[in-house]
Amino acid sequence: MLRRFRAPVRGRAAAALLAAVVVALLATGLLALVSSVPARSTTPPSTVPPPAASTTPVPSAARPAASSVVGLSAVFDDGSRAVGSGIVLTSTGEVLTCDHLVDQARWVTAWSYATGRSYPATLVGVDRTADAAVIQLHDSPAHPTASGLTPVRRGDPADLLAGDAVTAVSSRGNGAPTVTPGAVTALGRGITLTDSAGGTHRLEGLIEFRAALRHGDSGGALVNEGGEVVGMVVAASRDPDDPLVAAVPLDRATATAGGRAGAEVTSPGGRR
């Protein structure tokens, strides 16, 4: 059975959020790789405590991507909180992440290990057919953009072949970058998603790879052997003996950027 990387949340938002992450990959189920914890308040966090230094060496091919992945924390109306990852698209703070991570969130905050800073975020656009969302980070709530961020090096997902070595890079909320080696197992896979309203839609053309990912890795980067980001992690298997992961090709996911591909505009508080 497979899952997207967000764990169940508590409270009234839980049912909607859990329903949004029920998926199936062909004959095998997928669930989200998003970790959730109860929050004490719905007040947006002004700062995020620095994480402990990572003791895991980052492979040379993944180092550029590790500087361009941020951790995300989403707070919901009932006070529950989910954490995941995001991919920096621009130096001014456009970040790609999974729609299932930020869907219905009241507040979203990002943490960059590279800059040592936290950033409030608002939604720019979504494409639920790719489980993709683009959020805008801000240096402060009153500032329209962020500064000092390093965009990812983008690769061409079409160049991937089954058997290619890949690396998943994530941040898991406010953690140090985590890298997980893997290998491409199949291309062009499909997932059926059930959203919070009970509707279903398909994600097609996904990259399947084998890697032992964990909760909080949703929205992380899939990196090729050249250190280029070619996809965004959306789901993975429950089976520890066969840990399959699904990623949306980066070129498809980033079609959401700038409010394209079915954008939904947020209020100043970051809520849709």
The confidence score (pLDDT) of residue 8 equals 34
Per-residue pLDDT of 105-153, as tens digits, reads 999 999 998 999 999 999 998 888 888 999 999 998 888 999 999 999 9
Whose tokens are 């409030």? That residue is 120
- For residue 235, the SS3 value is strand
Indicate the pLDDT class of residue 197, thresholds 50, 70 and 90: low
CATH number assigned to the domain covering 60-258: 2.40.10.120
Give every CB contact of residue 71 below 8 A, 6+ residues apart in sequence.
Answer: 48, 51, 83, 84, 85, 86, 110, 111, 112, 113, 171, 172, 173, 174, 175, 216
The 10 Å CB-count burial string (b at 16+, else e) for 107-138 is: bbbbbbbbeebbbbbbbbbbbbbbbbbbbbbb
Per-residue pLDDT of 66-82, as tens digits, reads 899 999 999 998 888 88
The confidence score (pLDDT) of residue 167 equals 93
Active-site amino acid positions: 100, 131, 218
**Which tokens sit at 45?**
């966090």
Q: What is the pTM of this model?
A: 0.78
Domain ranges of the chain: 60-258
Per-residue pLDDT of 79-103, as tens digits, reads 888 899 999 999 999 999 999 889 8
